[in-house]
Structure 1
Amino acid sequence: MSEVIIATKNQGKAKEFTRMFQPLGFEVKTLLDFPEIKDVEETGTTFEENAILKAETIARLLDRMVIADDSGLAIDALEGRPGIYSARYAGEEKSDEANMNKVLEELTDVPDNERKARFFCALAVASPGKETFIVSGTCEGLILREKRGSYGFGYDPIFFAIEKGKAMAELTPEEKAQISHRANALRKLESELPSLLAGAGKK
């Protein structure tokens, strides 16, 4: 089985990528397997820029092909916030609960029909000496007024997934994989996988 390295230390993302790549014949490794590598400072102004920055930096360090994602929540009534600041929206200490509470508070007076939002994911594939490849995916929804469900991570408990008619955190991992922004981005990537991942585990 070939290896694919995902530039994340987020255990929720790691599990999702593992579920996506294992059926394709790849063993997933993440930055949790490389504790000596420090976090890459995300200085980009878009999800795409941050994904490319992470993928290219880690690919250079490991001299391997690396896939990085940058993803987050964009809420229309908040002019696209939290956006690229989704992970640390409530402060430098990453806290899903604090982030969700801040969003719910900011939307207190926003009526139900104006709570449109979407999850966005940019996936960048970088290899030493090769041009970086990037795709993106979205998932449309609404922001709920209270948390629901016990699956998922991040903003999933307050995100109502229109396609499924449930909060994202009420979906099983298998159901989420049918509609999520990350899965939609990966589906776009799949046709490119044979060439992009050729020899990925042979280093």
Structure 2
Amino acid sequence: MKLLVASNNPKKLKELQTILDKAEVTDVELVSLKDVEPYPEPVEDGLSFEENALLKAREGAVRTGLATISDDSGLAVEAMNGCPGIFSARWAGGHGDDEANNQLLLAQLADVRDEARKAAFVSVCALVSPDGQAVVSEGRWEGFLLREPRGENGFGYDPLFLPAEEYRGSLDEGRSSAQLSAEEKNALSHRGRALAGLVDPIRVLSQGMPGQPYTGQ
């Protein structure tokens, strides 16, 4: 079975392939957007990670006739009632301006005490079959927000994120997400956890066993 990963990011395909390999799901061929006939990307006008992930996956399934996976992710800060959330990539106004996003977030949290700087990276992955059945899976990576960037790896809010696994009771200790190796980050990541929740639905779908995999919309 061909499975479209609605992304041009090869790292996302590799991450899912690794997860499927570990689960011994061998009858699935992953393809990316560059492997299918081009189509206009849908406007991400959903009001939640789930809505945006679903609309992208549904668009891919309709346009290509292939089962499609898509994800939407961002940073949720407890003291900001879950913001920046779905607006994470454009929090400072311009899409993908990591430095501006980080600086704005730091300014907004300047007076928040260390123990209240809890945050989580959140990812919701959606799987939509050609007949429109859908299932979603959420992954969370809990941690804290630092007071200044730390590390050169990763992207986005990685330099500000201290994973719970690295927290030693103080924001002055432990490695940020941007100081972890790619292997370490993949093993902990929110998207990896969300993708892992879709392994069984993918397995059932690839084996042509209707009626078993879906509990979502």
What is the TM-score of this pair, normalised by structure 1?
0.86
Query: What residue is the counterpart of 1:65 in the other structure?
Result: 67
Q: Indicate whether 1:194 and 2:203 are aligned.
A: yes
Between 1:182-191 and 1:63-72, the stretch displaced more is 182-191
**Count of residue correspondences:** 195
Shift of residue 35, structure 1, vs aligned partner:
7.9
Q: Larger radius of gyration, structure 1 or 2?
A: 2
Q: Secondary structure at the match of 2:73?
A: strand
Q: Indicate whether 1:113 and 2:109 are aligned.
A: no
Structure 2 gap segments, 5+ residues each: 168-174, 209-217
What are the Cα deviations for residues 115-135 of structure 1, in whole angstroms up to 9, with x where unaligned? Answer: 100011111001221411111
Instruction: Give the partner amino acid of 1:5.
Output: L
Question: Would you say the 8 A contact 2:143–2:164 is kept in 1?
Answer: yes
Between 1:22-31 and 1:183-192, the stretch displaced more is 22-31
Between 1:85-94 and 1:119-128, the stretch displaced more is 85-94
Shift of residue 39, structure 1, vs aligned partner:
2.4
What are the Cα deviations for residues 107-165 of structure 1, in whole angstroms up to 9, with x where unaligned? Answer: 11111111100011111001221411111110101011111122222211111001134
Q: Secondary structure at the match of 2:198?
A: helix
Question: Would you say the 8 A contact 2:5–2:68 is kept in 1?
Answer: yes
Residues 93 and 120 of structure 1: CA distance in aligned 2, closer, same or farther (over 3 Å): closer
Percent identity between the two aligned chains = 40
- What pairs with 1:73-152 in structure 2 (closer than 5 Å)? 73-152=75-154
Structure 1 gap segments, 5+ residues each: none
Shift of residue 198, structure 1, vs aligned partner:
4.4
Query: What residue is the counterpart of 1:20 in the other structure?
Result: 16
What is the TM-score of this pair, normalised by structure 2?
0.81
Question: Would you say the 8 A contact 1:144–1:159 is kept in 2?
Answer: yes
Residues 97 and 37 of structure 1: CA distance in aligned 2, closer, same or farther (over 3 Å): farther
Q: Quick one: which of 152, 158, 161 aligns to 2:160?
A: 158
Q: Secondary structure at the match of 1:163?
A: helix
Shift of residue 33, structure 1, vs aligned partner:
4.4
1:198 & 1:98 partners in 2: Cα distance?
46
Q: Quick one: which of 28, 50, 53 aligns to 1:51?
A: 53
What are the Cα deviations for residues 1-41 of structure 1, in whole angstroms up to 9, with x where unaligned? Answer: x64322124x3xx4144133146255543334458333211
Q: Indicate whether 1:182 and 2:191 are aligned.
A: yes
Shift of residue 56, structure 1, vs aligned partner:
0.2
Q: Secondary structure at the match of 2:121?
A: strand
1:192 & 1:158 partners in 2: Cα distance?
34
- Following TM superposition, where does structure 1 have runs of at least 4 consecutive aligned residues deviating by more than 6 angstroms? none
Q: Secondary structure at the match of 2:74?
A: strand
Q: Secondary structure at the match of 1:51?
A: helix
Instruction: Give the partner amino acid of 2:60.
Output: I
2:137 & 2:79 partners in 1: Cα distance?
26
